[in-house]
Structure 1
Amino acid sequence: MLWRYMAGAAGARTGDDMSGPALLVLGLAVSGSPAVAGWLLAGLTVSASVGGPLLGVLLDRSRRPGRLLAWCLVGYAGGLLLILGLLGRAPDALVIALAVLAGLLGPALSGGWTAQIPLAVPAGLLPRATALDSISYNVAALLGPALAGLVATLGGGSWPVIVAAALIVASLPIALTLPARHGDGTTGAGGRSIAAELVAGMRAITGSVPLRRATATSMVSMAGIAMLVVCTPLLGERLAGGAGYGALLLAVTAATALAANAVLARLAPAVRTTGGWWPDGALVWATAVLGAGIALTALADGVALAVVGAAIAGVGEGPQLTALFAVRHRDAPARLRSQIFTTGASLKITSFAAGSAVAGPLAGHSVPLALLAGAGLQAVAVLVYWGLSPRRSRTPEISAPRAGGTAR
């Protein structure tokens, strides 16, 4: 079941990561307007902050969350195909509105899948499954944009959207085979309204020190990662004479993140017994390593040093995501798990959008300055982690895991 789940999650997330660049390419090809292309991408991402918490509540209340997840996949892929069919034939505002509606379902392709891991694997395999799940994000981040560029080069501006939708739909049969929830689904809502469940989910995040600390740390860090993503094309142009080299730097970051998580997956049983270092301490140390890598790219005066910096950033980014998921699996109440994962995904997407908005003008003034700001946000994320920690545990060595594991 684990490998079937992994295949479905990786396919859906690759299609998701492909869909943004695909819409950019489509918007430019059909309208010729960078503004329309940018608004399509913005519409697809901005609504995630609204859709994530609501999707999480519905998944938590569903006896068969896999079926609801499947409907989300159909809706997201269908939205992409509607945009493809209507762009250039309908008013731009209508097409952008469709992108916003499709974006509401976006968190289902990330946190919605991750929240189902405890249903798909035995408790003893959860650490390994969490590391492998993080790898699927790295694979998607590596393959999605690359596939969009390759398909656009070979087939034109429409085909990346078609391939992205096909990858998402291909995960549909696997979503439908996810196990049913027993004992904590619809009955767990206790007859409460959706609004009450949304409040309960936010209280679960803000009321738990580990969840609150991990969520805030990852949000600040994600804004800094956005600055790296925005700056890499400009950095490639400055150091190597072509913006495409910047995409290769992101590929290096994704590849080393993938490698780091592969090592974590192999060492999962040993990592689980390391006491307080995992996952809380790993989260803060990985954030610090990520910041060091971004800082090195800011100081790079040649391609070689920029590649080293991008590689170091990936070594931090991969384990950071795995540690974040491990905290959520450990501390999220079972009946609210989907909501906490999808809400966390929404908050990170929103942080990425905010970081991107700041990075653009800053990079236009100075690329190294924008990258240093991204590295500085990683330092701020570390300070946020320590600031939200109880005084007795303001070091990365957090107290040993409590009994009960992922059942809480």
Structure 2
Amino acid sequence: MQGFGRYLAAALAARFASEGMSLAVVLLALERTGSAAYGAFVLTAWLAPHVLAAPLAGAAAARTRRPRLFHVAALAGFTGAVAALSVLLGRAPAPLVLAVALLGGACGPMVTGGMSSLVAGLGPAGPGRDRAYAWDASTYNAAAVTAPAVVGLAVALGSAAPAMAVLALAGALAAVLAATLPYGTRRPDPDGSPGGGPGAPAGLGAGLTALWRVRELRAITSATTLAFVGIGTLTTTSVLLASRLGSPGGGGWLMTAFAVGALAGSLTLGRITSVEPGRLARRAMAGTGVALAAAAFAPSVATAAVLFAAAGVCAGPLLAATLRIRSEYAPDAVRTQVFTLGAGLKLTAASVGAALVGLAADAPPQALLAGIAVLILAAAVLHVVVARPGAAPADEAAATGPSAGSATAPAGRRTP
């Protein structure tokens, strides 16, 4: 695939910066103001725009005549916000800090789903592209392992400010590498409007319409959104669980075990192309739920860490399968919208889960972890139900017409 090595480096650098922000912002706020709550508010401002900006970013990316400039500008805006927050947080008025966080967060969908949408343009459909999505998924997991470690090391050595600087440099590297990637050119129609033909850009609501009307997209989006309500609570729950098991600092080890397992799973199980991606996604969610349910009964942090790692291995293929489904079934005209919307919905679901566990923090952590497992298992069941051919709306064919590429095959033959 042309330029795929550079794409992976750009994606890893961008997602490293994105993953590190969750921890670095809170630690920098605590260091400069003594208030972790202030950091939480800034982080909320950073995450909140994702679901609202996702359709706008996707539509703009599809309509632009200069996709290279658009993607590089989005990454540069993201990087600029990280750098600005490293200077302003705790020193400038709170409204200004929150405004910068909102602007940076609005670029977030292009760091996640927006970049993943580029993979389809780097090579033809087939096993090679499926494996490419497994590698793409591994960049999320690799960033989830390395970014918190680097931030934690910087804080241990003296300050969270250098950690923010490292994140900004990673974002800048991503922007530079993105500028070297091959991008498809879109010739304007005779009337001057961008790109005609079957793959012509669609309106703002077209991506959401595709997510609803295309059965495979509807199934994976609804299932992963529900699953991420649970996954969004995992970090806080792991801290509470480790404390209950007699190791107050063990929560970080549990999440590291989960992230390392997810990286291993994406690099191994996620590269399996012989299994239909919908089935792979269901198995991933089911395995993750079972492993976390077992971890709720762990007698020690060490045992829980092993089970968290097993849950991560099972979760690893989920993202690769999700990316494959989006690429295969999203109509060409709304592919970027589908990717950015899917990522935005998952992040929003995770933030809802984090808020819910905050309200239920007095409950036994074992019960919270069991609840997470139930949500993820329910997500696997939801996928089965929604993916059935009888669950498709009557107008599904309208969303999978000639512009849908490989999705033009009879839906019954492609059902996960």
TM-score, with length taken from structure 2: 0.88
SS at match of 1:300: coil
Query: Structure 2: which amino acid aligns with 1:251?
Result: T
Contact 1:363 1:369 in 2 (8 A): no
SS at match of 1:177: coil
d(CA) in 1 for partners of 2:59 and 2:389? 33
Given candidates 92, 96, 99, the residue that maps to 2:98 is: 96
Distance 1:74 1:307, change over 3 A: same
Alpha-carbon distance, 1:190 to partner: 8.9
TM-score, with length taken from structure 1: 0.90
Query: Structure 2: which amino acid aligns with 1:234?
Result: L
Tell whether 2:256 aligns with 1:251.
yes
Please name the residue that 1:319 is paired with. 317
Alpha-carbon distance, 1:83 to partner: 1.9
d(CA) in 2 for partners of 1:162 and 1:48? 23
d(CA) in 2 for partners of 1:311 and 1:19? 23
Given candidates 43, 46, 57, the residue that maps to 2:45 is: 43
| 1:18-54, Cα deviation, whole Å (9 max, x unpaired) | 1121111111111111221110111111111111111
| 1:279-308, Cα deviation, whole Å (9 max, x unpaired) | 011111110111112112211121232022
SS at match of 2:205: helix
Contact 1:27 1:37 in 2 (8 A): yes
d(CA) in 2 for partners of 1:16 and 1:351? 17
Distance 1:369 1:205, change over 3 A: same
Please name the residue that 2:397 is paired with. none
Distance 1:191 1:368, change over 3 A: closer
Contact 1:77 1:165 in 2 (8 A): yes
Contact 2:151 2:160 in 1 (8 A): no
Q: How does 1:258-273 map to 2 (within 5 A)?
A: 258-264=263-269, 268=271, 271-272=272-273
Please name the residue that 1:141 is paired with. 144
Contact 1:49 1:346 in 2 (8 A): yes
Please name the residue that 2:372 is paired with. 374
Contact 1:53 1:339 in 2 (8 A): yes
Please name the residue that 2:84 is paired with. 82
Given candidates 187, 190, 213, the residue that maps to 2:195 is: 187
Query: Structure 1: which amino acid aligns with 2:212?
Result: T
Given candidates 343, 347, 350, the residue that maps to 1:349 is: 347
Tell whether 2:154 aligns with 1:131.
no
| 1:103-136, Cα deviation, whole Å (9 max, x unpaired) | 1111111111100001223434211100000010
Please name the residue that 2:27 is paired with. 25
Given candidates 159, 171, 183, the residue that maps to 1:168 is: 171
Query: Structure 2: which amino acid aligns with 1:135?
Result: S
Please name the residue that 1:8 is paired with. 10
Number of residues paired by the alignment?
Answer: 391
Please name the residue that 1:120 is paired with. 122
Please name the residue that 2:329 is paired with. 331
Gaps of 5+ in 2: 189-193, 393-403, 410-416
Gaps of 5+ in 1: 395-402
Please name the residue that 1:398 is paired with. none
| 1:140-171, Cα deviation, whole Å (9 max, x unpaired) | 11111111111121141211111111111111
Please name the residue that 1:405 is paired with. 406
Q: Which has the higher helix share?
A: 1
Query: Structure 2: which amino acid aligns with 1:115?
Result: S
Tell whether 2:235 aligns with 1:229.
yes
Distance 1:387 1:190, change over 3 A: closer
SS at match of 1:198: coil
Tell whether 2:200 aligns with 1:202.
no
SS at match of 2:387: coil
SS at match of 2:85: helix
Query: Structure 2: which amino acid aligns with 1:375?
Result: A
Contact 1:112 1:338 in 2 (8 A): yes
d(CA) in 1 for partners of 2:269 and 2:67? 28
Alpha-carbon distance, 1:15 to partner: 0.9
SS at match of 2:248: coil
Query: Structure 2: which amino acid aligns with 1:136?
Result: T
Please name the residue that 2:412 is paired with. none
Which deviates more from structure 2 when the two are superposed, residues 379-388 or residues 16-25?
379-388
RMSD between aligned alpha carbons?
A: 2.4
d(CA) in 2 for partners of 1:144 and 1:58? 29
Contact 2:263 2:316 in 1 (8 A): yes
| 1:167-222, Cα deviation, whole Å (9 max, x unpaired) | 11111221112222245893149999x9x611111111100000000000000001
Contact 1:291 1:374 in 2 (8 A): yes
Given candidates 234, 241, 247, the residue that maps to 2:247 is: 241
Distance 1:52 1:358, change over 3 A: same
